[in-house]
Amino acid sequence: MSKGKHSRKKQETAAPVMTRPESGKGAEKTLIDLDFERQAAEHAAGVEETTYGIWRYVWKVNQFINRHKKPHTFKKKTYLWLMLFTGFFGGHRWYQGRYILAALSTAFFWTGVPAVLMVTDFMEVFPIKADENGYITMR
């Protein structure tokens, strides 16, 4: 096999880094850090986030849902046990008080999507520290 441009190894590079000259050593920030700072500054200034294309409508629906979410308080251990035994059809969501999402999970349990959502719910709830009575609050 001849050596050509396809036989060269690709060089892996880290994310570009921006340095502030006046800050000295250790002031390097990746583009991700700078983007988070930009987003925080825009949010503090009241600039509305925009998304274009087909995702614009998904983004608007997501913003609407997030604005109208109510906090739910429930026992963590009970929630985790319900998730383990009834999570594949949304049983833990009935306990949590999220009735619309629970009804959708129950109606579409045969697709397997609620089982995948159960795993994401577990990863979200498990690290949360419960209060002295064992309750947690989620939005």
Residues 77, 55, single domain; the answer is: no
For residues 127 and 4, the model is more confident at: 127
Residue 16 lies in a domain: no
Residues 80, 126, single domain; the answer is: yes
Percent of the chain with pLDDT over 90: 4
Structural domain of 76: 72-138
pLDDT recorded at residue 137 = 85
Residue 10 lies in a domain: no
Go through 54-90 and write b for each residue having 16 or more CB atoms within 10 A of its CB, e for each that does not.
Answer: eeeeeeeeeeeeeeeeeeeebebeebeebbeebbbbb
**Is the C-alpha dihedral spanning 57, 63, 69, 71 positive or negative?**
positive
Residues 107, 123, single domain; the answer is: yes
Residue 35 lies in a domain: yes
Distance in angstroms (rounded) separating the CA atoms of residues 115 and 111: 9
Residue 92 lies in a domain: yes
Residue 38's SS3 state is helix
Domain count, the chain: 2
Q: Give per-residue pLDDT as tens, 26-56.
A: 567 788 888 888 888 888 888 877 766 777 7
pLDDT recorded at residue 103 = 92
